[in-house]
Chain A
Amino acid sequence: MERTTQRMIEIPRDVMTGEELWQPGVLSCQGCGGSLAMKLALKGLGRRTVIVLPACCMSIIVGAYPYSTSQVPLLHVPFETAAAGASGVRAALDIRGEEDVVVMAWAGDGGTFDIGLQALSGAAERNEDILYVCYDNEAYMNTGIQRSGATPAGAWTTTTPDKAVKEESKKDIERIMLSHDIPYMATASVAYPADIYAKFKKIRSIKGTKFIHILSPCPPGWQIDSADSIKVSRMATQSNVFPIYEVENGKYTINVYPEKEVTVKEYMKTQGRFRYITDDAVNAAQEWTDRKWEKLKGMLK
């Protein structure tokens, strides 16, 4: 098994020098994974992109009227309509003869795993030529940290308080999306910027529904220091809690083999949101993670 090289972790030269389509001055919290993910995504996609944005942290981060940090056209849409709104923009751009413009729905985990899942499933089933990105901070962070279908078992949120932390595992959105037979599905993490950049560059040439699931650390929600969000994200991959892989027309590739391995317990210990978890739940999380990782490796064959 090859290990990740330093090159995967470093910010690629193109990203440093390329056109800045997500300008400074955003309203994100310090250490926000979501805003960094957007910046990297747009570096890969370039200017011929339209963003469709449902209610999520990013709808605040981008700026309030009359300001916008986005240098590409951006359409705000209702919470559960990212994929539907993007389908409509796609149809209109095709009518206008602008087939090369990428329409990117950019939604949080609430807008993807939960309230927006119906519209997303509809768009994926129709194989709409859109890119759907879920930046996943593993809870309803914009409304102040409530559990979502993406919240991992054992996590504290304001709706899974200390005496009743979340018992259910994270919903397997990747498997749900793959069951639609879409041409491209990938995971990514802000801890591996070269990988994000490459994936967003790549999708430009893929027709049909593309889905990218980005783990996006949230310092207030995860109760980590804002300086540690990259480190914690990297540990999510090092522990196999969040493997980085892609599935292109059914073919699986693991893109990041971590440079070192950590346990799920070590990963959880970095975050205040797991401070109420029991030893049994930690063990269950380790087993769940191992099982999923083995299953993923099995798909490579």
Chain B
Amino acid sequence: MRQLLKGNYAVAEGARLCRVKVVSVYPITPQTTIVERLSEICASGELDAKFIKVESEHSAMATLVGASSAGVRAFTATSSNGLLLMHEVLHWVAGARLPIVMTNVNRAVSGGWNIWADQTDSISQRDTGWLQIYCESSQEVLDSVIMAYRLAEKILMPVMLTYDAFFLSHTTEVVDVPDIELVDEFLPPYQPEFKLDIDNPRMFGGLMSPDYFYEHRYTVHKASQEALEYYPEVCREFRDIFGRDYDITEEYRTDGAEVIVVTTGTITSVVRITVDKMREAGRKVGLMKLRMFRPVPVDRWRSILGNVAKVVVIDRNLSPGLGGVFADEVQAALYSLENRPSIYPVVAGLGGRDVTPADIEGIINHALSSDDPAGVPLFWGLKE
């Protein structure tokens, strides 16, 4: 059914449709309306789940460690400082191979308070083992929640979905909310092989000596990489049932492009309309939308970007002393190619600063007119 939904409500609908059994969430701007909506639908019985109203994000994720280890589908949502508070437990969840799904509203990380769009929060969690998928629209957020459980429960890895503060969390869009019966068909109940079970007592998460730990870590790595094989399958099945098409990485008008802009999140929509406009003017520009960031789809990035002269990577995140992190990882993925493209790393829109079509055009023109990409990040739109 088509509805007008804000991004956060689309998330709550996603959790409802997946029939999550334990929800543990702590409010933080701009994620709060998810907490409110989930509280309502748990209280009304629309969602038959235990809602644990914890005292912190750290406990939110820790309760899900308990719930997921006991074999039920578990969900949480957070943002920014809340995500950072979870950091220790995020590592734990991935190491324990618990298929928890979490949505994170990308918000700037303080100090110096800022509640607006910025990906530095999720980027800071990239080495935890959580799969990361960046979303562009409310529809994509809702659909991605459903696909995330399918993926997570198959490969036994946690999945984090992220989307921009306010630009998406608080913006109303038309969203097609699928019938729950169709979702049931796509996503069977979670029935793990191992769980806390009185009749089959096991110990989970105990001390591992150097004789075992290294191999354990390798299995976590391999499990993450399985997503590259399995997620396209999930997307195909999703398309067959729901009629909407997703992929690990998406391309837009890349045929014959001289420059491809790599983006994530809502900036992608701005780039898409800018690409249309520039294409109409005869400019050979294209777009690569980076959805899955962990595991790194190296082969996909290479196949899309390997034959283009110039690549612009726009980062709404900052690793101080380095620059944008997506640019760094795209460069690393392309480095071993013989005819690797010139990379133009661009940092833009930190802390919710608007990035307009005019900005994108300016960024692309900069790349097209420059012959010498020193690999030094361009900080677009800095005030004097």
Contact = CB atoms under 8 A, between A and B. Distances in A.
Contacts of B49: 95
A85 B63 contact: yes
B50 A95 contact: yes
Contacts of B59: 81, 83-84, 87, 118-119, 122
A81 B206 contact: no
B56 to A, nearest CB: 7
A93 B21 CA distance: 11
Interface stretch (B193-201, B219-227, B285-293): B193-201
B281 interface: no
A4 to B, nearest CB: 35
Contacts, number: 160
> Which residue of A64, A66, A91 has the most chain B CB atoms within 10 A of its CB atom?
A91
A101 interface: yes
Instruction: Give the interface SS of chain A, mostly helix, strand, loop or mixed.
Output: mixed
A73 B201 contact: yes
Given A48-B198, A77-B65, A81-B89, A92 B21 contact: yes
A70 interface: yes
Contacts of B205: 75-77
B329 interface: no
Interface string B168-201: 0000000000000000000000000000111001
A50 B207 contact: no
A275 B196 CA distance: 46
Contact of A64 (B24, B69, B209): B209
B353 interface: no
B70 interface: yes
Nearest to B60: A84
B314 interface: no
B61 to A, nearest CB: 8
B207 A60 contact: yes
Interface residues of B, number: 41
Given A92-B22, A92-B70, A96-B71, A77 B62 contact: yes
A121 B202 CA distance: 28
Interface string B314-347: 0000000000000000000000000000000000
Contacts of B1: none
A94 B125 CA distance: 32
A50 B198 contact: yes
B66 A87 contact: yes
> Which residue of B62, B64, B197 has the most chain A CB atoms within 10 A of its CB atom?
B62
Contacts of A68: 202-203, 206
Contact of A76 (B52, B54, B67, B206): B206
A165 B184 CA distance: 63
A71 to B, nearest CB: 6
A259 B141 CA distance: 67
A76 B72 contact: no
B38 interface: no
A92 B65 contact: no
Contacts of B379: none
A86 B69 CA distance: 11
A89 B212 CA distance: 27
A85 to B, nearest CB: 4
Contacts of A246: none
B374 interface: no
Contact of B196 (A47, A64, A89, A125): A89
Contacts of B204: 73-76
Contacts of B201: 70-74
11 contacts: A50-B196, A77-B66, A85-B65, A86-B66, A87-B54, A88-B62, A88-B70, A89-B70, A119-B62, A122-B55, A122-B59
Interface of B: 21-22, 24, 49-50, 52-56, 58-60, 62-72, 74, 88-89, 92, 196-198, 201-209, 212
